[in-house]
Amino acid sequence: MKTLYSKNLRIYLLGVFSLLPLLLTSCFEQEPQYVNTYQGNLDALWRIIDERYCYLDYKNIDWKAIKVDYDARLSKVKNELELFDLMASMLAELKDGHVNLISDFDVSRYHDWYSKYPANFNAGIIFGPDSKYLGPTYRRAGALRYGTLYDGTVGYIYYGDFTDAFTDANMRRIFDTFRNCTSLIIDVRNNGGGSILYSEQLASYFFPEERLTGYLRHKTGRGHSDFSDYIRVKTKAHSFLRWNNGPVALLCNRMSYSATNDFINRMSTLDNVITVGDTSGGGGGIPLSSELPNGWSLRFSASPMYDIDKRDTEFGIEPDFKQDMNSADEKNDAIIERAIIELEKKRRGF
């Protein structure tokens, strides 16, 4: 969802799957050439998605029929703005928040992956002046806002953006503050993603040892279902910092997307972790970019990611405990309250 996510994903792939960029390049090294006309740019966009987008078969999209439809519409396009809007509409057929058309005057985006769902988050309830949760005097360590709830027995961390940094020193301070807590809430609602490196880092503080947390595949050819074998994705345990004080609840909503979806997937493999709220937004495809003849950039999902049971995470991850918020309630966060109940049950072994 954020451009930094794409940048850091390339760093991630170079570090973890060093051969992947070479494989991707070798598969598509002889790209067709298109002229810089309205038809040429539409043809180039269609072909890039046809050959490199990873979810056409998974989403049952008839991409050829869509091309016929939009070729017919192209005859009515009179200027660049109308061409951009036509292409943006074509890309919206993919129903993917990781797909963007980027020009010097606009960026297309697909909002329906979250806009038709309950908001399930109100920052004012948590951080507002009359909040019974953290209130405006919360502490902040790096990008992490934190404090204790319920007479100091429950630790609470809010992380709103996986492009924002935090350090081991930040986490050491937070865990020290929570030393008397018997459970922990990590709230990633409305976190639209960012760097997968921060997803790995934050998860590492909760893993007792390195373990398998999912899979990845990449395109190996131009066919819609030309994929590599499943590549194992592991999450490492941090070398010296680890949460040991009780169960953990992840709070999620539909706007928990992209790198946040990845974090939820990793953490969900742990026995002491529960997820509470709504199904996450998904965004399981690793994004790559390509350029059209007119210089516009096309960003798209290129490599699908899966959970440990090899289920695709593109459409989101269902919570262990589904809970919505009452939009009229200005004092209570129903998702936090449900997390407190379920954490206590888990702590007592229910």
Direct distance between the N- and C-terminal alpha carbons of the chain, in angstroms, rounded to an integer:
38
Higher pLDDT, 30 or 250: 250
User: Binning pLDDT at 50, 70 and 90, where does residue 68 land?
Assistant: very high
Higher pLDDT, 4 or 250: 250
**At residue 210, does pLDDT exceed 70?**
yes
**At residue 292, does pLDDT exceed 70?**
yes
**At residue 217, does pLDDT exceed 90?**
yes
Mean pLDDT on 221-243: 97
Mean pLDDT on 152-163: 97
Mean pLDDT on 235-259: 97
Which pLDDT value is given to residue 32?
Answer: 74
CATH number of 123-284+303-347: 3.90.226.10
Question: What region, left, alpha or beta, does residue 46 occupy, with left being phi > 0 and alpha being psi -120 to 50 degrees?
Answer: alpha
Which pLDDT value is given to residue 256?
Answer: 98
| CA within 13 Å, CB half, 10 | 9
Q: For 14-28, 69-83, 84-98, 236-250, which range has the lowest pLDDT when averaged over its residues?
A: 14-28
Beta bridge mates, 140:
145
Tokens of 287: 């994004």
pLDDT in tens, 8-50: 444 334 334 333 443 444 455 556 789 999 999 999 999 999 9
Mean pLDDT on 281-299: 97
As a whole number, the mean pLDDT across the chain is 92
In percent, the amount of the chain with pLDDT more than 90 equals 89
Which pLDDT value is given to residue 350?
Answer: 60
Q: Which of 187, 189, 183, 186 is nearest to 150 (CA)?
A: 183
**At residue 332, does pLDDT exceed 90?**
yes
Helices (H), the chain: 3-16, 20-27, 38-52, 63-74, 80-92, 112-115, 123-127, 168-177, 196-204, 259-267, 334-347
Domain residue limits, the chain: 3-115, 123-284+303-347
Question: What's the CA gap between 67 and 42, in Å, rounded?
Answer: 9
Mean pLDDT on 182-199: 97
**At residue 149, does pLDDT exceed 50?**
yes
**At residue 1, does pLDDT exceed 60?**
no
**At residue 243, does pLDDT exceed 70?**
yes
Which pLDDT value is given to residue 28?
Answer: 53
Mean pLDDT on 52-67: 98
pLDDT in tens, 100-141: 999 999 999 999 999 999 999 999 999 999 999 999 999 999
**Beta carbons of 177 and 207 less than 8 angstroms apart:** no
Burial 147-175 (b: 16+ CB within 10 A, else e): bbbeeebbbbbbbbbbbeebeeebbebbb
